[in-house]
Structure 1
Amino acid sequence: MIVSAPVVAAVLPGDVDDPQRPSGGNVYDRRVLARLGGVQEIAAGGSWPHPTAADRAALAGALAALPDGAVVLLDGLVACGVPEAVVPEAGRLRLVVLVHLPLADEAGADPALADRERAVLGAAAAVVATSTWSARRLEALHGLHDVPVVTPGADPAPPAAGSGGGGLLCVGSVTPTKGQDLLVAALARVASRSWTCRLVGPLGRAPSHVDLVRRELDRHGLAARVRLDGPLTGAALDEAYAAADLLVLPSRAEAFGMVVLEALARGIPVLATDVGGVREALGTTSSGEVPGLVVAPDADGLADGLQDWLDDPALRTRLRRAAHERRNTVPAWDVPSAALAAILDGVRS
């Protein structure tokens, strides 16, 4: 379904369609915009939120070329770190900034990004968060109030067949924020159990972290049981989900956790660290049951959750049942598209 929206332009990361660099933010942008008609897309090349001077100048030039009064939707990853390019246009353009995760909340982020983000968001006509947690975090960090929330959807998918219980899947860029090193340490604690694990996601965003994960796999003797698949999309990603019994999300920070919805859309239970908007993504069944396990954001918490999953057949059955029930309430992408279109219409009027 295509939703009529008053967007003149949308500023997206230049790698939004790069199959080697998939991310939850990129998927969100692409799925939502695909259902908003008449949008001029501006692909902002650069290593955001730390672009080169040339990349900043290119973004400033693209914004300057837009007509007065234009409604412009900007991905926060691009916009929030460069107030010098964005804020000067706020007086003549209707800027709407979409924030997935506050920039300073990425593991190892430059603390100065918080001040830069505050300047951008303070100048915007509207700020939109992709989870209730993110909206509250923006209020705490930047003093914003009544930030509207447009949570993600998921593509319809058939129920996963799984592999019998020990098929673990972790989907996300291999970075400190996503916590694959914590997962490896947890897997070492349950090495005596029967399981295999696939780490699916880009390997080029934090090469030193990828090296750390590989070293830890070798140190614990797990390299033969844990595959670093790199980025998967399309049918290859669908096949990885179809073979999974449990999605594991070991993140140190997570605005929402789109992969949680993608797993639940297939009836796959989730083991996740209790950070950010993860509980919001998990949701509950009609009877109030959580379709997964939420644990402390450290290796011990993950190990305890894995042990419970692997050792308790009754728990696995209960969580699978809950995940299949939750599958029926995962929203399609036309829901957030319509919600975002309504916000943009309000900005223009």
Structure 2
Amino acid sequence: MTVLFVVPEASAPSGGHTYDRRIARAMTALGWPVRTVAVAGGWPRPAREELDGLASVLDGEPDGARVLVDGLVACGAPEAVVPHAARLRLAVLVHLPLADETGLAPETARELDAREREVLRCGVRVVATSGWAARRLAAHHGLAGQGGRSGVEVVAPGVDPAPLARGSGGAAGGRLACVASLTPRKGHDLLFEALAGLRGLPWECVCAGPGAPPPRPGIEDRVRFTGSVVGAELAGVYDSADLLVLASRAETYGMVVTEALARGVPVVAAGVGGVPEALGRASDGRVPGLLVPPGDADALGRALRWWLTDPGLRKGLREAARSRRQELAGWPDAARAMAGALGL
């Protein structure tokens, strides 16, 4: 049976769009055909005509059809989703709880949270991309006993095998990379504040991702923005990096963490949401990076200073990253997990 996968129309590259595309491709390759339909709109706050468009897509499916809907679309649209919960075998894939988006007005966050709860409690299967997200959704929305053991199934992203990054080719480790959209949730302001305190040390930082570059007072000549990059250009960013830095205020998983580790690149990141899960440990127990409290630019600065000034630390983290690299799950593993979550 073919699975219909309803996703938001991609306006710019993002981890969520990458996940949707790769999981559909991997499931199809393994014998579970997936037909993807992209719906345009102001998700997760759609206009009336956009709700009607989503409802029309679901109306077109026969009773008992298996349908997976990206949470960015489904969770803001109970009017379109809930009427089909008893008729279709519906599942909702939650990348990020809607109210967790940074910068929302309190009343907007409350409204989105209520709409998400209505959708997730209407009898659909719920799938999250990390154990942390599954636990949070189950506890926050009262989903225990619905779906998996916690009420939410977990299908973590896969990662592609990749060659070891060449980095700077030296021992100093001063080539930093931040791969993230330029939005408040990704914490570039915190990163730049931390880096401003390290002007006396040798480093340069490449920021790869869509969006308008934010201010970076005092370090303008040492931070470079690439804009949106995919494919070979994105691979080039990772290949030239000594260290991945991620200062996110919220992160359900953090696919860029495993993408860096797949190349043996250590990570310094805010220990928020599913990031510790993505970073993980090597089989010998070593952690291939440093985690700092979210929202703490001073702690991030201290971790980066430690990386830049301690050769022994750099050597240990590189070795741990290379060990962890051998143990990362691929997209076929994620596809099998999703097939199980959907009851295929």
TM tier, smaller: over 0.9
The answer to whether the 8 Å contact 1:97/1:124 transfers is no
Matches within 5 A, 1:206-225: 210=213, 213-214=214-215, 217=216, 220-225=217-222
Q: Which runs of 4+ in 1 moved over 3 A?
A: none
Cα offset, 1:51, TM superposition:
2.1
Tell me the CA shift for residue 7 of structure 1. Answer: 4.2
Residues 151 and 336, structure 1, Cα contact 8 Å, conserved in 2: yes
| 1:99 equivalent in alignment to 2:94 | yes
The structure, 1 or 2, with the larger RCO (C-alpha pairs under 8 Å, 6+ apart) is 1
Secondary structure of 1:293's partner? Answer: strand
Mapped contact 1:7–1:344 kept (Cα < 8 A): no
Give the Cα separation in 2 of the matches to 1:141 and 1:345. 24
CA contact (8 A) 1:90 1:124 kept: yes
- Counterpart of 1:24 in structure 2 is 15
Which residue identity lines up with residue 115 of structure 2 in the other structure? Answer: R
Cα drift, residue 328 of structure 1: 0.1
Any stretches of 5+ residues in structure 1 without a counterpart? 1-5
What pairs with 1:199-210 in structure 2 (closer than 5 Å)? 199-203=207-211, 210=213
| Partner in structure 2 of residue 122 of structure 1 | 121
The C-alpha deviation readout for 1:280-324, integer Å capped at 9, x for no partner, is 101101111100000111211111111110111110011000000
Q: Of residues 163, 177, 180 in structure 2, which corresponds to 1:158? A: 163
Deviation at residue 172 of structure 1 after TM alignment: 1.0
1:31-50 equivalences under 5 Å are 31-37=22-28, 38-50=33-45
CA shift at 1:125, angstroms? 2.6
1:173-223 CA-partner distances (Å, limit 9, x unpaired):
1111111111011110111111000111111xxx5xx4xx22xx1xx2211
**Gaps in structure 2 of 5+ consecutive residues:** 145-149
Secondary structure, aligned partner of 1:330: coil
Counterpart position of 1:306: 304
Aligned counterpart for 2:200 among listed residues 174, 179, 192: 192
Residue 280 of structure 1: aligned partner = 277
Q: C-alpha offsets along residues 45-87 of structure 1, whole Å, 9 cap, x if unaligned?
A: 1121122222221111111111111110011111101111111
Taking only the aligned residue pairs, the percentage that are identical comes to 54
The one-letter code sitting in structure 1 at the alignment partner of 2:96 is: L
Question: Which residue identity does 1:256 align to in structure 2?
Answer: Y
Kept in 2: contact 1:94–1:124 (CA 8 A): no
Q: Which residue of structure 2 aligns with residue 180 of structure 1?
A: 188
Q: Does 1:248 align with 2:245?
A: yes
Aligned to 1:3: none
* Partners of 2:202 and 2:3 in 1: CA distance: 53
Q: Counterpart in 2 of 1:339?
A: 337
Q: TM-score scaled to structure 2, two decimals? A: 0.92
Say yes or no: does 1:84 pair with 2:89. no
Matched AA of 1:325: S
Contact 2:25 2:34 in 1 (8 A): no
Cα distance per residue 1:135-168 (max 9 Å; x no partner): 1110221011221111111011100010131000
Map 1:227-246 → 2, pairs under 5 A: 227-246=224-243
